[in-house]
Amino acid sequence: MPDCRRVQVPGGTYFFTINLLERRSDLLVRHIDAVRKAVRRTRRERPFAIDAWVVLPDHMHCIITLPEGDDDFSNHIKAIKIRFSRGVPATERRSGTRVARGERAIRQRRFWEHAIRGDVDYARHMD
């Protein structure tokens, strides 16, 4: 397992890229209502502010700001990914490993994040 080190800033602003497993899929735009519902439900349970959110056919980019004192961005994104996966029909092919783990084959297990480090960094990521 890779040694992942994530910068966690309580109340911080983060840029994320979240990818589908099948990069030629249009699942996110076909099931945009499931994306919206997953985000809404997660925000009710784990509040955060949406600065920007772009949904493309096979991946999403977003900039979110967590409440003061909250640095658990990983579980916010995890909750959105799980809710989305549960909100779409199970039609994908799964590897033996994913079947054994009880996982869907919709999204990549990991995501890419970047802690925003100031106004210039924020403007670059917003652009």
Residue 25 located in a structural domain = yes
Q: Is the entire prediction scored with pTM above 0.85?
A: yes
Q: Alpha-carbon distance 69 to 17, whole Å?
A: 23
Q: Are 66 and 7 in contact (CB under 8 A)?
A: no
- Tens digit of pLDDT at every position of the chain (127 positions): 455 667 788 999 999 999 988 888 898 999 999 999 999 999 999 999 999 999 999 999 999 999 999 999 999 999 999 999 899 888 777 788 877 877 776 777 788 999 999 999 999 999 9
Residue 8 located in a structural domain = no
Residue 24 located in a structural domain = yes
Confidence at residue 34, expressed as pLDDT on a 0 to 100 scale: 96
Domain that holds residue 31: 13-126
**What does residue 85 show for φ and ψ, rounded to 5 degrees?**
-60, -40
Residue 28 located in a structural domain = yes
Confidence at residue 105, expressed as pLDDT on a 0 to 100 scale: 64
Structural domains of the chain, count? 1
What CATH number did the domain enclosing 32 receive?
Answer: 3.30.70.1290
> Residues 6 or more apart from 28 whose CB is under 8 A from it?
20, 35, 55, 56, 57, 58, 59, 60
Residue 45 located in a structural domain = yes
Residue 7 located in a structural domain = no
Q: Are 40 and 84 in contact (CB under 8 A)?
A: no
Residue 6 located in a structural domain = no
Residue 2 located in a structural domain = no
